[in-house]
């Protein structure tokens, strides 16, 4: 079954080279429930700055994918949902369960009900890059305003990227829609003290399935967080966008993967989502 294309995007599919590109559809603001982070020490601070094309405030990003807790139970009760832990990530230094078996839209909605947003390909790239910089010596702070020790940064980085069992993966809030010979990309940005979605023409990007270099993706990807044409390497497998696809990131025994061609209805016990919240309070 072909993915359903929203009515206001159909004109983008009918656009032809030589015509003036249609104006991207207006996206509604993202309304988040009030949130209080119960354990800020389990978050890492992504400092305010320009990431991709837009400015972002200080953001707190979960060290782990969302796990079942009292806040999730409250959402379950309020929405008559039944989310629970479905997967366990076991490594030498830690073990934790996380929520899976949810499709792309369900993952985004659960995060919103908790007062969070979900990493886009832009912010996902910045988070992995941040972890690498911290491992290399840059001081990183947790949500409790204390420095995060290097061993913890390695743990979080390996959880996301290390080639080992079990399979671990997470949704990114980035969607792709065919537009003439290219694609539109839709993702959340921070604007006017709140979150909203923008839909833009996707920048030039690698259009074939292949292995690329993780460093190349982190340092030289386009403004939408995708590798550029000509990217090569052997430590990150890349899957390009297709019409109606969404993005996710994961790792298994013989690969790490940035997948931009995923079907949004897909689900797996080991496919979860990570929380992102705007930081409140003072320095750092």
CA distance 276 to 45: 10
Rounded average pLDDT over 85-112 = 86
183-203 burial, b for 16+ CB within 10 Å, e for fewer? bbbbbbbbeeeebebbbbbbb
Residue 245 confidence (pLDDT) above 60: yes
pLDDT for residue 106: 98
Q: Which candidate, 170, 52, 179, places its Cα nearest to that of 102?
A: 170
Give the model confidence (pLDDT) of 162-175 as tens digits.
999 889 999 999 99
Give the pLDDT confidence of 42-72 residue by residue, as tens digits: 999 999 999 999 999 999 999 999 999 999 9
- Specify the range with the lowest mean pLDDT, choosing from 37-41, 92-96, 265-269: 92-96
Length in residues, the chain: 284
pLDDT band with cut points at 50, 70 and 90 for residue 282: low
């Amino acid at each position: 079954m072909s993915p359903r294309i929203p009515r206001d995007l159909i004109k983008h599919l009918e656009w032809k080279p030589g015509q003036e590109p249609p104006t991207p559809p207006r996206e509604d603001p993202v309304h988040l429930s009030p949130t209080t982070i119960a354990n800020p020490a389990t978050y890492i601070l992504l400092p305010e700055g320009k990431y991709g094309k837009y400015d972002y405030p200080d953001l707190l990003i979960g060290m782990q994918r969302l796990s079942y807790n009292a806040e999730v139970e409250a959402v379950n009760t309020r929405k008559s949902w039944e989310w629970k832990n479905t997967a366990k990530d076991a490594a030498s230094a830690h073990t934790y369960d996380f929520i899976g078996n949810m499709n792309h839209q369900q993952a985004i909605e659960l995060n919103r009900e908790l007062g969070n947003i979900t990493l886009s390909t832009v912010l996902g790239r910045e988070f992995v890059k941040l972890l690498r910089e911290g491992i290399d010596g840059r001081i990183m702070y947790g949500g409790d305003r204390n420095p995060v020790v290097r061993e913890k940064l390695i743990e979080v980085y390996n959880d996301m990227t290390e080639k080992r069992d079990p399979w671990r993966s997470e949704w990114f809030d980035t969607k792709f829609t065919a537009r003439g010979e290219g694609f539109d990309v839709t993702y959340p940005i921070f604007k006017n003290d709140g979150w909203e979605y923008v839909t833009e023409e996707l920048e030039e990007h690698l259009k074939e399935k292949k292995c690329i270099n993780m460093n190349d993706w982190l340092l030289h990807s386009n403004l939408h967080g995708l590798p550029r044409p000509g990217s090569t390497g052997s430590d990150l497998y890349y899957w390009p966008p297709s019409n109606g696809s969404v993005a996710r990131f994961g790792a298994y025994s013989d690969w790490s993967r940035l997948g931009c061609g995923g079907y949004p209805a897909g689900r797996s016990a080991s496919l979860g989502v990570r929380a992102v919240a705007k930081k409140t309070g003072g320095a750092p």
